[in-house]
């Protein structure tokens, strides 16, 4: 896990350099006031960077910058990381705006009222993009920014659970065993939300032929303790859109009182522009809340998400905290408190800079590029598992054709591509279909047709290289 770091023991910390004999090499230290013209001529360049304990003394800012920057060169190139949905390109003008906002604490509405107003504008634009009802003030949608879709989903689950509990209490019924229905291909944040907030997970499992939720099966899993059904617009595994309308219609036809939350983390900024006729949002009466990631196809650098509720009735008032210790009365419904304002400002820039036509142009180009890549991969003998022509996210999920009898798997292909700098993930499918191995290329804004051609050439070269190697050599090479 990247997010959890263990603290080194004193014995480990004292080991220092990997090569212990380096301690026997003496280097004359410059006098305290000696000035060197070069970072690499300074005493700091002859030492390892502090790793376990804060140093006793300061170092020049230029030296600190250069040494840390050198350390970071070991990271991969974000533009070649085709595993991630996260935005890796923004215009210089918005980068300046975001840099200027770095000192601002977004939560301090009294000090930064215009930043709060910008968030409200974003919520309004996104809610209308999702066809939220706006016919009256009493029925108007409401929403908030988050640090990403994970927090947005947590808030959505909290609201649905509390609303279900309040209803059960009012009816004098047991409210200790809530459950939520979802596809087994959900992003891990859904499993976290269910376990952290003690909600039973009920799954509609994927099969070798179906990688999305089965509407009939999902509805059949609903009982009086179900707080909601989760439907996904753009699954992580294959990018496919789940049939939210079918779930909605079944619930209506069967007169089942169960809401739908739509996880549009990846597809919320794609579907409205590529397939505007697709009914998945607040046009469906059972959809009560939607989350979306601004830092994915919302085209903002990492750190912003959004959650929108159909109307105030779906967000229990007791979950909203009113505080005044920052200088003014303000309402807060978040899992954290302090956060930067830069990403919210970046989201507003993108929406007014691009407008609907700009977003549509970008998303259509990404869709065309994904279709082009899929066609090339089919010519190379791969099986494409994702939907094309805008019926899913602009990504390509693919796997080796088992009929061709390869003596290597998708993980070996991914390893070969990594040697060329590409990060194209290989992984197993969701539970109950995990014997399927596949790879995925996420087509982002900065993935041009030219770069796509280079990737295709490198995939072809990777396959040719693996075909020329025997099985043992491949296994030894991938260790």
In tens, the pLDDT along 100-115 reads: 999 999 988 788 989 9
The pair phi, psi for residue 180, each rounded to 5°, is -135, 140
| Cα distance between residue 316 and residue 369, in whole Å | 43
Q: How confident is the model at residue 22 (pLDDT cuts 50, 70, 90)?
A: low
Do the beta carbons of residue 119 and residue 106 sit within 8 Å? yes
Do the beta carbons of residue 299 and residue 266 sit within 8 Å? no
Q: What confidence score (pLDDT) does residue 35 get? A: 54
The answer, as to whether pTM is greater than 0.75, is: yes
| Cα distance between residue 412 and residue 244, in whole Å | 36
DSSP assignment letter at 110: T
- Model pLDDT for residues 150-199, shown as the tens digit of each residue: 999 999 999 999 999 999 999 999 999 999 999 999 999 999 999 999 99
Question: What DSSP letter does each residue of 261-304 carry, written as one string?
Answer: EEE-TTTTTTHHHH-TT---STTSTTEEEEEEETTTTT---SS-
Do the beta carbons of residue 183 and residue 235 sit within 8 Å? yes
Q: How confident is the model at residue 13 (pLDDT cuts 50, 70, 90)?
A: low
Question: What DSSP letter does each residue of 114-165 carry, written as one string?
Answer: HHHHHHHHHHHHHHHHTT---S-STT--EEEEESSHHHHHHHHHHHHHHHHH
Q: What confidence score (pLDDT) does residue 2 get? A: 47
List, in order, residues 6 or more apart from 64 with CB less than 8 Å away. none
**Over residues 223-228, mean pLDDT:** 98
- Model pLDDT for residues 335-372, shown as the tens digit of each residue: 888 899 999 999 999 999 999 999 999 999 999 999 99
List, in order, residues 6 or more apart from 148 with CB less than 8 Å away. 293, 295, 302, 303, 304, 305
β-bridge partners, 232: 263
| Cα distance between residue 27 and residue 136, in whole Å | 75
- Model pLDDT for residues 259-317, shown as the tens digit of each residue: 999 999 999 999 999 999 999 999 999 999 999 999 999 999 999 999 999 999 999 99
Residues in the chain: 479
DSSP assignment letter at 40: G
The pair phi, psi for residue 374, each rounded to 5°, is -60, -45
Task: Measure CA 410 to chain center.
Answer: 23
What is the rounded end-to-end Cα distance, in angstroms, of the chain?
Answer: 20
| Cα distance between residue 327 and residue 104, in whole Å | 15
Q: What confidence score (pLDDT) does residue 51 get? A: 93
Higher per-residue pLDDT: 7 or 145? 145
β-bridge partners, 144: 307
Q: What confidence score (pLDDT) does residue 26 get? A: 65
Helix (H) or strand (E) holding 167, with range, is: helix 149-170
**Over residues 371-375, mean pLDDT:** 98
Higher per-residue pLDDT: 328 or 66? 66
| Cα distance between residue 351 and residue 357, in whole Å | 10
Identify the residue whose tokens are 């279900």: 164
- Model pLDDT for residues 64-86, shown as the tens digit of each residue: 999 999 999 999 999 999 999 99
**Over residues 85-91, mean pLDDT:** 97
**Over residues 27-31, mean pLDDT:** 59
Question: What DSSP letter does each residue of 362-380 carry, written as one string?
Answer: HHHHHHHHHHHHHHHHHHT
Do the beta carbons of residue 416 and residue 466 sit within 8 Å? yes
β-bridge partners, 382: 400
Do the beta carbons of residue 392 and residue 240 sit within 8 Å? yes
Neighbours of 286 (CB within 10 A): 22
Residue 33 has pLDDT above 60, yes or no: no
């Amino acid at each position: 896990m990247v997010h959890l770091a263990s603290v080194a023991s004193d014995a480990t910390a004292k080991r220092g350099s990997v090569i212990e004999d380096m301690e026997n090499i003496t280097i004359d230290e410059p006098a305290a006031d000696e000035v060197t013209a070069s970072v690499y001529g300074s005493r700091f360049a002859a030492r390892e960077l502090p790793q376990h304990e804060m140093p006793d003394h300061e170092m020049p800012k230029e030296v600190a910058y250069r040494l840390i920057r050198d350390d970071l060169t070991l990271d991969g190139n974000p533009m070649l990381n085709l595993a991630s949905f996260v935005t890796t390109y923004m215009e210089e003008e918005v980068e300046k705006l975001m840099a200027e906002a770095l000192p601002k604490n977004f939560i301090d509405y009294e000090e930064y009222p215009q930043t709060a107003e910008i968030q409200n504008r974003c919520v309004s634009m996104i809610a209308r993009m999702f066809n939220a009802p706006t016919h009256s003030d009493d029925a108007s949608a409401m929403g908030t920014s988050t640090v990403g879709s994970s927090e947005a989903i947590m808030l959505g689950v909290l609201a649905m659970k509390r609303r279900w509990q309040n209803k059960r209490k009012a009816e004098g019924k047991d409210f200790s065993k809530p459950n939520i229905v979802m596809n087994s291909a959900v992003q891990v944040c859904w499993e976290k939300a269910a376990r952290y907030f003690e909600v039973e997970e009920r799954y509609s499992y994927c099969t070798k032929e179906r990688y999305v939720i089965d509407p009939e099966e999902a509805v059949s899993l609903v009982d009086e303790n179900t707080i909601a059904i989760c439907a996904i617009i753009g699954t992580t595994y294959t990018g496919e859109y789940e049939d939210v309308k079918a779930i909605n219609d079944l619930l209506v036809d069967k007169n089942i009182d169960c809401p739908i939350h739509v996880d549009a983390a990846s597809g919320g900024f794609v579907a409205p522009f590529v397939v505007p006729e697709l009914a998945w949002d607040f046009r469906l009466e059972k959809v009560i809340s939607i989350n979306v990631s601004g830092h994915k196809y919302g085209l903002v650098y990492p750190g912003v998400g959004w959650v929108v509720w159909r109307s105030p009735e779906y967000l229990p008032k007791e979950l909203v905290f009113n505080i005044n210790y920052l200088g003014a009365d303000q309402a807060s419904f978040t899992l954290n408190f302090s956060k930067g304002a830069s990403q919210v400002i970046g989201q507003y820039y993108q929406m007014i800079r691009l407008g609907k036509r700009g977003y549509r142009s970008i998303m259509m180009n990404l869709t065309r590029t994904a279709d082009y890549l899929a066609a090339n991969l089919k010519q190379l003998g791969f099986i494409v598992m994702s939907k094309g022509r805008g019926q899913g996210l602009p990504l390509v999920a693919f796997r080796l054709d088992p009929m061709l009898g390869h003596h290597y798997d998708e993980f070996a292909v991914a390893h070969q591509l990594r040697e060329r700098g590409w990060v194209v993930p290989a992984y197993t499918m969701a539970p109950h279909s995990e014997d399927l191995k596949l790879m995925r290329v996420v087509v982002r804004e900065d993935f041009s047709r030219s770069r796509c051609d280079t990737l295709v050439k490198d995939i072809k070269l990777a396959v040719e290289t693996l075909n020329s190697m025997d099985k043992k050599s491949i296994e030894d090479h991938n260790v």
